[in-house]
Structure 1
Amino acid sequence: MSKRARRMNRRGSAAVSEGAIVAASDSRGGSVEAFTFGDPEPVLSRATMLDMLECYHNQRWYEPPISLDGLARAFRASPHHSSAIILKRNMLAASLDPTPFLSRKAFAGLVQDYLVMGNAYVQEVRNRLGGVMRLDHCLAKYARRGVEPGRFWWVAGYRNETEFEPGTVHQLMAPDINQEIYGLPEYLSALQAALLNENATLFRRRYFENGSHAGYILYATGDFADGDVDNMREALKRSKGPGNFRNLFVHASGGKENGIKILPIAEVGAKDEFLGIKNTTRDDVLAAHRVPPQLLGIVPANAGGFGDVTKATDAFFELEIEPLQSVFLELNDVLGFEAVRFRERVKAE
């Protein structure tokens, strides 16, 4: 084998790198042929895509490293993705002890922005003497951090930007390992799973809406009277579109056994592993959000269930909600007075 193998010349090597089929030896019959297809794919190209994104600026404000509009639209891509975020928001809002400066409504908006966008912005509304009257919630989707420290901009559209009064806006951000200007949400590793979950649902919905999924081959080999084949063909045509899933009756007098066979092809032509995709992507999303499944109303597949929901709630509150509370308590240090306060939670016996 080694004696017959020959080296490829430069031309052959170049052809191989371009994806062509190249023979290892074209001078001897029956030689081994080597071929390759597809371009080289760097393993880390997509994994490090966010690392190369920079927060560039236009001399006034920095742009986020990831599309905030895309994060907003992906919020409702998967029911488990949005439900996990809403659960955390509701539990945090319920644990708040409102102060004269911060209402529960404004706080709920801050929490939702922080969980979805990785950033939350609060604006001081001051009186004529310069004292703080209340704290308002600024939508993180349109807020931008200024190039100069302490300055923030409201960018709701092209040429509709407005600068906030310096020193009146404060930012809470989820830490990122690549930059310190904007925060990034924790669920980015499961964002593709949430989008795949949505695509699987849309594909299955369109599959049933198109009305062209009879899913079988009617194989007839028997003897039929004149016009019977045409009648069957017309009946099959009427089975598509609105009113499909109808039954078809065929009577062949004097026909033989197995004269008419139905060969199902739906398993091959439309196999998309719908349940497998839905369950796998759901688990990925829940793992990213670290939410127990019983808190989201998921029906257990086994008879044993998910365990005691009260204990799961206590553990979830201690491991997830309390650390999030500490994030918003940082506002007190920035403002210099107590604007955020939480009630002490009593665990269920």
Structure 2
Amino acid sequence: MNLKTMLLGKAQNFLKDNLNLTSHSQHEAFTFGEPTPVLDGHDLSNYLECYWNGRYYEPQVSINGLSKSCKATPYLSSGIIFKRNFLANLFKPHPQLSRKSFEQIALDFIWCGNAYVENIQSRLGNTIEYKPALAKSMRVGKDDTFIMLHNGDEGFEEWQFAQNTICHIRETDIDQEIYGVPEYVATLQSAWLNESATLFRRKYYNNGSHAGYLMYVNDPSLDANDVSSLRSALRNSKGPGNFRNVFLHSPNGKKDGVQIIPISEIAAKDDFASIKNISRDDILAALRIPPQLLGIVPQNTGGFGSIKDASEVFYQNEIQPLQSRIMQINDWAGDDIIQFNDYQLRTGE
């Protein structure tokens, strides 16, 4: 036994003794990573409430993030606009508050949970009109002061309004009492999932580099000429009038001699329709809008029921509470500048 063979044997014995290796391969199954809550690590923000940065309070929920999320999926955007249109249609214009101004107030209150109304006064202190201040740019300061953030001619600027000229109405929140939080915050994950599913499918089709299938031929009865003819037939099936059928005749062929193997069938890889439907239902549940009012086509033969009944219930349970909250502006203005007509559904009779 030479030195090389002796050293190799000692090394193998050492590995077997210390690493518990055997001549037979073994399979081992193990798990790693414990379930982690999605909200874990964000508890500190609940203690901070709304951070005071020295000039104004920072909103607990990102206003810019909410603005982008409203446009993430058509269901969320359409639901918000639907509520805005419902309110604007019933609004009674006032000499000091136009319908256009009210539409902005209603939209800000629904998408942001905050609405700001400015009292435009004359030099004598009389009210000329009430105008909305865009909720996306408004911030709350101390001692009932309000600041608007905007990009002016000289760059980023902060404009502070005069005392007692801004009325702020907000949705209630369980963590703080400075800013309102829209009621659809709980469904933002579903809205983002809906957007991600759409973007994934759109990128897949725009990519265009995916193959449709693999034709596997192992039939010994096909010679080179037959293969060339088959290749030409497949090439000619593309272009105008595509999706043509190809006929192959092999008298002495064997079973599975020619196989069509799909290698990029995305419909079997993800559940696009299910994701879209489930996330849509989550969004509509958060907005509490019956699906038939948004023009959603039912998937069952029974449908969604009477659209007239759904509209009346939606008005009583959703629109009237919204009206009462927006009418808080009347208490601040000391005048009934916001009034609504009674809802009457036209049946065409």
- The question of a shared fold, defined as TM-score above 0.5 by the shorter chain, is answered with yes
Structure with greater helix share of residues: 2
Which position in structure 1 is the counterpart of 2:306? 308
Q: Within 1, Cα distance between the matches of 2:210 and 2:21?
A: 51
Residue of structure 1 aligned with 2:195, choices 184, 198, 215? 198
Residue of structure 1 aligned with 2:257, choices 245, 256, 259? 259
Are residue 151 (structure 1) and residue 145 (structure 2) matched? yes
Does the 8 Å contact 2:233/2:246 carry over to 1? no
Q: Within 2, Cα distance between the matches of 1:322 and 1:294?
A: 20
Displacement after TM superposition at 1:212 (Å): 3.0
Which position in structure 2 is the counterpart of 1:107? 102
Alignment of 1:35-114 (within 5 A): 35-38=30-33, 41-42=36-37, 44-45=39-40, 48=43, 51-52=46-47, 54-114=49-109
Does the 8 Å contact 1:235/1:248 carry over to 2? no
Displacement after TM superposition at 1:40 (Å): 6.2
Q: Say if 1:27 and 1:254 are closer, same or farther in 2 by CA, change over 3 A.
A: closer
Code of the residue aligned with 2:53 in structure 1: it is N
Displacement after TM superposition at 1:130 (Å): 0.5
SS in 1 for 2:274: helix
Q: Within 2, Cα distance between the matches of 1:239 and 1:183?
A: 60
SS in 1 for 2:86: helix
> 339-348 or 200-209, which moves further after superposition?
339-348
> 176-185 or 58-67, which moves further after superposition?
58-67
Q: Within 1, Cα distance between the matches of 2:258 and 2:284?
A: 49
The Cα RMSD (Å) is 3.2
Code of the residue aligned with 1:161 in structure 2: it is E
> 268-277 or 68-77, which moves further after superposition?
268-277
Which position in structure 2 is the counterpart of 1:283? 281
- CA deviations on 1:72-113 (whole Å, 9 max, x unpaired) are 111121111111111110111111111111111111101111
SS in 1 for 2:50: coil
Which position in structure 2 is the counterpart of 1:297? 295
Q: Say if 1:69 and 1:44 are closer, same or farther in 2 by CA, change over 3 A.
A: closer
Q: Within 2, Cα distance between the matches of 1:176 and 1:238?
A: 64
Alignment of 1:157-306 (within 5 A): 157=151, 159-223=156-220, 224-226=222-224, 246-247=243-244, 249=246, 251=248, 256-257=253-254, 258-267=256-265, 271-306=269-304
* Aligned length in residues: 323
Code of the residue aligned with 2:293 in structure 1: it is L
Q: Say if 1:231 and 1:347 are closer, same or farther in 2 by CA, change over 3 A.
A: closer
Q: TM-score, normalised by structure 1?
A: 0.81
Code of the residue aligned with 1:169 in structure 2: it is I
Which is higher, the Rg of structure 1 or of structure 2? Answer: 2
> 164-173 or 323-332, which moves further after superposition?
164-173
Displacement after TM superposition at 1:216 (Å): 2.3
Stretches of structure 1 that go unaligned for 5 or more consecutive residues are 1-24
SS in 2 for 1:149: coil
> 206-215 or 113-122, which moves further after superposition?
206-215
Q: Within 2, Cα distance between the matches of 1:48 and 1:85?
A: 29
Which position in structure 1 is the counterpart of 2:133? 138
Code of the residue aligned with 2:130 in structure 1: it is L
Q: Within 1, Cα distance between the matches of 2:345 and 2:251?
A: 77
Displacement after TM superposition at 1:58 (Å): 2.4
Q: Within 2, Cα distance between the matches of 1:202 and 1:232?
A: 37
SS in 1 for 2:224: coil
Are residue 336 (structure 1) and residue 334 (structure 2) matched? yes
Q: Within 2, Cα distance between the matches of 1:290 and 1:340?
A: 24
Q: Say if 1:165 and 1:231 are closer, same or farther in 2 by CA, change over 3 A.
A: farther
Code of the residue aligned with 1:310 in structure 2: it is K
